[in-house]
Structure 1
Amino acid sequence: MSRNVWFETVAIAQERARKRLPPSVYGALLAGSEQGVSYADNLNAFSELGFAPHVAGLSAKRDLATTVLGQEISLPVIISPTGVQAVHPDGEVAVARAAAARGTAIGLSSFASKAVEDVVAANPATFFQVYWQGDRDSIVRRMERARSAGAKGLILTLDWSFSHGRDWGSPWIPERIDARAMLRFAPEGVRRPRWLAGWVRSGHLPDLSTPNLAEAGQPAPTFFGAYGEWMQTPPPSWEDIAWMVEQWAGPFMLKGVCRVDDARRAVDAGVTAISVSNHGGNNLDTTPAPIRALPAVAGAVGDQIEVVLDGGIRRGSDVVKAVALGARAVMIGRAYLWGLAAAGQTGVENVLDVLRGGIDSALLGLGRASIHDLTPDDVVVPDGFLRTLGAKE
């Protein structure tokens, strides 16, 4: 990778994305609900944790490989599903190729801009993400399509509520790119010529439809059309989740758990894995950072199901802290979107390389030969840091 493209940190990728993307697109990626308390805590909590390093007897080689949902991955980082990716014309296909090139898996959103068939072709280690929306028949049809496409696992996202207002304002997002939308966004596009040129070269405009939710013979709904269906669908019960697990009959992750009692109910429902997550700060604001809730959840169910963490990962050292405190792996969202915006597939590969290097360096300093050797003793946890939610004393 040429040095003029390479970035050495995720923070640099974010800054390049900010300079490249129209302000409305960049603002949509920042997200965070209400005051953004959870969004900020997701990031800041990792800086409150320290390491307890060794100085001699360190391992000359470190093993970063593990498995998630039955898929072997070369580092404990997988791609978290995110919705319509208007940051780059190749969208989720570019992300899938980058993940495959770096030996890891991708979670594909049902609200994605690329079809599950195309993403699986780019990376066979694809997990398809769904929301509980529509009736059971439509949910089964979506699962069957993902299964037929070759998806290796299913992710059910439940850490998303109706609270999306932001104190600093939300950018206007059109339902579709029509003449009105193009006129409104024209000044932003002119200010970001490289982003606009990329779409011109691709031969099409940003697509805000959701092809993975299209019914046979029908056009794909728009993002807001799909969002509306989700809002009108009553939330699922634990019995509904157990039914879904049974229907899928394969590796199944429940995303959004931060309470011990919910984690135990997830085990009872038969899931393979849970993600400790607050939807990147886009769920109920003031929910604690997932890293604060992780040890209690992992301690309660980590010997029965896989536990991963999603939220606030920006450095390889963050990954190591999460694994030491009980996660099998982590999922990244905004971090790879910054890379995608900055340099397409190459940028996503760059982000994964940055994280890999940071993980390896942290393992070296801690004297660990493998991520599987990490323990809570490797991390300095200050008093008052942890949050144990939903557990009786």
Structure 2
Amino acid sequence: MAGQWFESVAEAQRRARKRLPKSVYGALVAGSEAGVTLDDNTGAFRELGFAPHVADLPAERSLATTIMGQEISMPIMISPTGVQAVNPEGEVAVARAAASRGTAMGLSSFASRSIEDVCAVNDKTFFQMYWVGDRDTLAARAERAKRAGAKGLIVTLDWSFSHGRDWGSPSIPEKMDWKTILKYIPEGVSRPKWGIEFLRSGKIPDLTVPNIPVDGSVPPTFFGAYGQWMFTPPPTWADVAWLREQWGTDSPFCVKGITRADDAKRAVDAGATAIQVSNHGGNNLDSTPAPIRVLPGIVEAVGRDVEVIMDGGIRRGSDVVKALALGANAVAVGRAYLWGLAAAGEVGVGNVLDILRGGLDSGLLGLGKKSVQELAPEDLLIPPNFARTATNS
């Protein structure tokens, strides 16, 4: 729409900050503890340079690829993020925007919209699960996702509940009711457009998570589901292998949260067909290196055996180029599309994806590549000691 277009993810973030109440915006930018990992996720990309060509450049370039069994128009997919109450349509708006750009949607089990609603608008949807509940519950949740049409399962293992933040944690209410709304009126008054948008939709920000129940029961609140997660014993690799069997050995199965080569190998041994190199957007154990730093070692260890997806710090198309050159098959974006969603809803998410696609295409042109599959480490200027490797294998 005229007047809503923006030319960078940084501008989407600026508009999101201007539009959202302080506590809502704070939830989007939060990282754990001192924010060392949060800063490194973006800062590490700045250390990588390009080695461009200036002639014999390809007039046409192919960005298309395949990830987890799905043909996508570009190696950029939506990473699953929890309760997207920055817009009345939430995850459905994101899924529509991704579908309109021909790419895949990752839906969180802590999302504000159901797996059924999202699969109805994007047939390239992967369902993400946390380890919440006993085995029977986990198997039933996976079966629900498959019945809804999910094309693959993403199992997230990377969160140690390290949530203390030096600058304070964002204020997130237990639930949204009229008492809570009255409490947050001062914040809403300072950002009236956001509140008016919800009023016009006939909705209030929904903090329940409809993808947790498997028996038709009332969905828990976000913090209710969070509590269930915290009190569920952490899974073993044997548990992961069990869930892989439950999901079905003929369907894509991704393990998310890998930052070590030995964990990557264990994920492969457990039956993963893909791994997602990730530190939970800087919300796991602070001082974990940026995913782009650990990516080369993980690709070397398992890149011939499984697909490798990377998330964390993607803000422009050139970041995507760097991740692909270091061996990722695709990248997943999180905060970038959430800022687009906050700035302009479905249109804003599409805008962010177009920005990333345009930057990726420009990178291919400058490097003289006809397709994303041709990118290699030799296209980058990599400083000494850039990479980080941790393994006990």
Moved more, 169-178 or 353-362: 169-178
So what's the TM-score if we normalise by structure 1? 0.98
State the 1:216 CA deviation. 2.2
Distance 1:329 1:278 in 2: 16
Distance 2:99 2:312 in 1: 22
State the 1:89 CA deviation. 0.2
What is the aligned partner in structure 2 of residue 368 from structure 1? 369
- 1:335-386 CA-partner distances (Å, limit 9, x unpaired): 0000000000000000000000000000000000000001100011101110
State the 1:84 CA deviation. 0.4
User: Percent identity between the aligned chains?
Assistant: 67
What is the aligned partner in structure 2 of residue 386 from structure 1? 387
Moved more, 71-80 or 214-223: 214-223
Q: Is the 8 A contact 2:209 2:221 kept in 1?
A: yes
Distance 1:340 1:55 in 2: 37
- 1:174-194 CA-partner distances (Å, limit 9, x unpaired): 111123311221001111111
Secondary structure, in 3 states, of the residue corresponding to 2:77?
strand
Distance 1:51 1:387 in 2: 20
- Aligned pairs for 1:99-110 within 5 A: 99-110=98-109
Distance 2:343 2:53 in 1: 36
- Aligned pairs for 1:219-238 within 5 A: 219-238=218-237
Aligned partner of 2:158: which letter? D
State the 1:209 CA deviation. 0.3
Distance 1:200 1:180 in 2: 16
What is the aligned partner in structure 1 of residue 77 from structure 2? 78
What is the aligned partner in structure 2 of residue 197 from structure 1? 196
State the 1:391 CA deviation. 5.1
- Aligned pairs for 1:1-393 within 5 A: 1-2=1-2, 4-249=3-248, 250-390=251-391
Q: Is the 8 A contact 2:144 2:214 kept in 1?
A: no
So what's the TM-score if we normalise by structure 2? 0.98
User: Unaligned stretches of 5+ in structure 1?
Assistant: none
Name segments (4+ residues, structure 1) moved above 6 Å: none
Distance 2:172 2:375 in 1: 43
State the number of aligned residues. Answer: 391
Aligned partner of 1:14: which letter? Q
Compute the RMSD of aligned alpha carbons: 0.8
Aligned partner of 2:232: which letter? T
Aligned partner of 1:326: which letter? G
Q: Is the 8 A contact 2:156 2:256 kept in 1?
A: yes
Distance 1:381 1:88 in 2: 39
- 1:82-115 CA-partner distances (Å, limit 9, x unpaired): 0001100000000000000000000000000001
Distance 2:208 2:60 in 1: 46
Q: Is the 8 A contact 2:30 2:170 kept in 1?
A: no
Secondary structure, in 3 states, of the residue corresponding to 1:240?
helix
- 1:260-312 CA-partner distances (Å, limit 9, x unpaired): 10011111111010011000000000000000000000011000000010100
Distance 2:10 2:149 in 1: 34
- 1:28-74 CA-partner distances (Å, limit 9, x unpaired): 01110000000000010000000000111100011001111000000
Secondary structure, in 3 states, of the residue corresponding to 2:284?
coil
Secondary structure, in 3 states, of the residue corresponding to 1:382?
coil
Secondary structure, in 3 states, of the residue corresponding to 2:299?
helix
Moved more, 180-189 or 352-361: 180-189
- 1:202-254 CA-partner distances (Å, limit 9, x unpaired): 10111100011124242101100100000001100000000011110110110
Distance 2:387 2:267 in 1: 22
Q: Is the 8 A contact 2:110 2:211 kept in 1?
A: yes
User: Unaligned stretches of 5+ in structure 2?
Assistant: none
State the 1:198 CA deviation. 0.6
- 1:138-167 CA-partner distances (Å, limit 9, x unpaired): 001100110000000000001111101100
Distance 1:243 1:218 in 2: 26
Distance 2:11 2:116 in 1: 33
Distance 2:194 2:78 in 1: 23
Distance 1:367 1:53 in 2: 7
Q: Is the 8 A contact 2:325 2:375 kept in 1?
A: yes
